[in-house]
Structure formats: C-alpha cells, structure tokens
Amino acid sequence: MMNPSYKLPDTPDFFQTTSQFPDVFAPRQAESHKGTYGTLAVVGGASGMSGAVVLASTAAIYQGSGKVWAGFNQTALPFAVIPERPEIMLATAEDLLKRKDISAWAVGCGMGLDETADSILNIVLTQNQDAPLLLDADALTLLARSNPETREAAQKRGNLILTPHPAEAARLLGTSTQAIQQDRMSAVHTISATFQAVTVLKGHRTLVAAPDGTVYTNPSGNAGLATAGSGDVLSGIIGSLLAQGIPPFQAACAGVWLHGAAADVIKHSSGVETGMLAGEIAPAARWLRNRLMTDKTKN
C-alpha cells in the first residue's frame, strides 16, 4: 500500500519528467504478468555485507521487476528468507550465475574483492551477453584492477552500465579523486568511451554519459542521499528498469532521477534530510513513479 503521507515538491520538474523518460512512465498493460516485467539478478553480498544485496534487491522489487533474485558471494545463504521481503528469491552467487532466465544483472554491491568476486566479474562479462549488465561498487574496483582481457570483455559486451562514485572513477582512469572532481564532465566522457558503456558518475548533480557522447545532468536529490546503502538502492532501481526492458541510457537517467527525486519527496514530506535511511528511498521512489504515471494518464 502506498504511503498517503508523501507529497510532491512544488517544482515543475516533477511534471516535466514523464516526457523525458516515456518508457519508464508508460502505464502497465492490463493483460500482463510477472514475466512481462523481467527477472533481475542482484549479485554481491560477501560475508558481512549481505545488507547491500538486500537493499538493492528490495529497491528493484519496489520499482516493479516481475521477479528478483538476490545472489550472495558466500558459500551458504546468510538467511533462508528476507523476512520483510519474502517476495525476493535467494541463492548463492555461484548458483545464480548458472541460471539462463535472467533479464538483467546488477553486480558488485558488497561483493568483496577476493578471488571468487573476481571470478564472478569475469563470468558476467563473458556469459549471458544479451542481458543488460550493471556494474557497481566492488565490481568497478575489480574492473579497474583487471587484466587487459577482462577490460576488453567489458568493452565488447554491450548493454553495459557502470555506476562509479568519484573514487571508483579515479581507479578506472588511473588518476586521483581530486582530478575527477575537478573535471567531472571529462571524466564521465572518458570512462564511457573507454568501456563503451553508459556511465553514471555519482555525486552532486550526477552525470550520465552514453558512448556516443550524450550526457544527462541530473537535477534531483539532496544531501540526505549521503548515507550508507544509498548507492545500492540506486543500483537496484536502475537494474529493475533494465529488467523491465527500458533501454540502458534511459534506464540510467530515469533511475538516477527517481532516486534523487525520492529523496526530495522524503525531505518535502517529512522535513528529514539528516538521518535519511537508504531503506526509505525505495518506497518513496515507487510512490513517485506511480503518482507520475497517474498524472500522465489523467492528462
């Protein structure tokens, strides 16, 4: 049930956005089923970091994926079920990587940097190449450290989204975080061109670049997003849109906007910015997407 206490900020941006991301805000067809909206696999969650996968998977199910798998880089499942979200299916990363029915992958949240994590990265880059792939967090660090063959596999894969924060972007380009922040536009262009991937350079006014040079500057969001797990939620939102068949550049731009706009909704509705929790973002993003879909239908 949607929270009736949410309120839209009094800005025209919220009503103009549906035209920017038409596939995201198209109403659902009456004759549809869970298979219509794809299956997302979220892979990460090394020991002690299970929450990263839970946050990303929860955000994905809230954003409308038909089915979501949470895959943990552990020898055994850390728990039998996510009590608050039993809709999410659980597997070890090893078992999940064997599945052939995945519509999109989101890999890296809390995954760790061990040999098993490195193997996961290589598998997702070379298998299931028709399915869009999002790499975040530890997967980006591993990619930055990888051998030329792995980097070449990333460049050739297609349908790839990279979501670095400035320090991860610096690792990918072999430079400093300060250098990234001094020229964010150049950095996001270079990463996107180097890896032939849609690149989301996170931060204040997040930038999203396509390999053809197109760049989207995100206007939404506030400092409440500076909290643990916020990036995992973003990965889940974008991954969910990918699984639903939204093209990668539009999925990345819309996901970034929804993530930030959800934080704006929370701040406007409750006055909370300091102490905003990552787990609060996904329900607000769900409410916002549905609200804007409803407004679009009325118009």
Residue 205 assigned as binding residue: yes
C-alpha–C-alpha distance, residues 131 and 223, integer Å: 33
Distance CA 184, CA 192 (A): 12
Residues 268 and 280: their CA atoms lie apart, in Å, by 14
Q: How far is it, in rounded angstroms, from Cα 96 to Cα 71? A: 6
Q: Is 28 annotated as belonging to a binding site?
A: no
Is 202 flagged in the annotation as binding? yes
Please indicate if the annotation marks 51 as binding a ligand: no
Is 268 known to sit in a ligand binding site? Answer: no
Q: What is the DSSP string of 166-221?
A: HHHHHHHHTS-HHHHHHTHHHHHHHHHHHHTSEEEE-STT-EEE-TTS-EEE----
Backbone angles phi, psi at 54, to 5 degrees: -60, -45
The answer on whether 184 is annotated among ligand-binding residues is no
- The DSSP bridge partners found for residue 15 are none
The response to whether 110 counts as a known ligand-binding position is yes
Angle subtended at Cα 129 by Cα 127 and Cα 134, rounded to the nearest 5 degrees: 95
Alpha carbons 191 and 209: distance in angstroms, whole number? 9
232 annotated as belonging to a binding site for a ligand: yes
Binding residues: 52, 110, 165, 202-206, 231-232
Binding residues for AMP: 202-206, 231
Binding residues for (6S)-NADPHX: 52, 110, 165, 232
